[in-house]
């Protein structure tokens, strides 16, 4: 099967189905280092990237932002001195779509 | 008195005193839009900046990061689609130093 990181996000409609727990369970091993977190009753895909410097944190933040603009799908990014936390979820459907796993895989590749 | 935003941060030593509540009360009116938040028992200076676009969010994030590098004092920045949240506090002293108010004022000026 094609790697997640080379796949392209489809337009996410408000009536697109959330991933089922079974689908999530089968996708999560494909995005190493990412975990499912729950905030405000929303499932999100979260990873903390530890960096060696603030310059690296900032470069990575900009790289993820570029991916986000290209896909027109935007994560939450927490920029700190020696870490960058990235969270992907689909606002329109209030949870996880396959797009989020594609973006998580692309994010990891750009680190 | 000299504007906060034109002042320079002093080196923050681990034994520098935290600001007293009285000092915080006198400084907070000088940084409009900022509020004191408490997380993990630490007082932080927090402001949410609403933006018009992701491009503006990203530009502002980079501007704040540049200020941070210049002062060698680094905030937590949360970059989202139409907002940037900035939190200043002094890690070494586990709370608020006058430097944080200076950086908050500089942050607001760069918005």
For residues B1 and B8, give the distance between their C-alpha atoms in angstroms, rounded to a whole number: 14
Model pLDDT, residue A9:
85
B102: confidence class by pLDDT, cuts 50, 70, 90: very high
Contacts of A60 by beta carbon, 8 Å cutoff, 6+ apart: A49, A51, A84, A110, A111
CB atoms within 10 A of CB B41: 7
CA A81 remoteness from chain centre: 21
Contact flag A54-B65 (C-beta cutoff 8 Å): yes
Binding-face residues of B in 30-89 toward A, CB within 8 A:
54-55, 58, 61-62, 65, 68-69, 74, 76-81
Question: pLDDT digit string (tens) for B67-91?
Answer: 999 999 999 999 999 999 999 999 9
Model pLDDT, residue B11:
76
For residues A81 and B42, give the distance between their C-alpha atoms in angstroms, rounded to a whole number: 17
Contact flag B65-A76 (C-beta cutoff 8 Å): no
Contact between residue B45 and residue B104 where contact means Cβ atoms under 8 Å apart? yes
Contact flag B62-A58 (C-beta cutoff 8 Å): yes
Distance from CA of A96 to the nearest CA of B (A): 17
**ipTM of the complex, rounded to two decimals:** 0.95
Model pLDDT, residue B35:
98
Residue spans of the domains in chain B: they are 20-110
Q: In 3-state terms, what secondary structure has residue A54? A: helix
User: Which of A88, A82, A75, A79 is CA-nearest to residue A50?
Assistant: A82
For residues B1 and B28, give the distance between their C-alpha atoms in angstroms, rounded to a whole number: 15
Class for domain A20-110, per CATH?
A: alpha beta
């Amino acid at each position: 099967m094609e790697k997640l990181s080379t796949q392209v996000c489809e337009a996410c409609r408000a009536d697109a189905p959330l991933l089922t727990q079974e689908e999530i369970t089968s996708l999560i091993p494909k995005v190493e280092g990412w975990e499912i977190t729950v905030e405000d009753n929303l499932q999100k895909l979260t990873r903390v990237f530890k960096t060696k410097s603030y310059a690296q944190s900032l470069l990575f933040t900009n790289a993820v932002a570029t991916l986000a603009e290209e896909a027109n799908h935007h994560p939450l990014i927490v920029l700190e001195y020696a870490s960058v936390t990235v969270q992907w979820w689909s606002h329109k459907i209030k949870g996880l779509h396959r797009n989020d796993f594609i973006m998580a895989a692309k994010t990891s590749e750009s680190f």
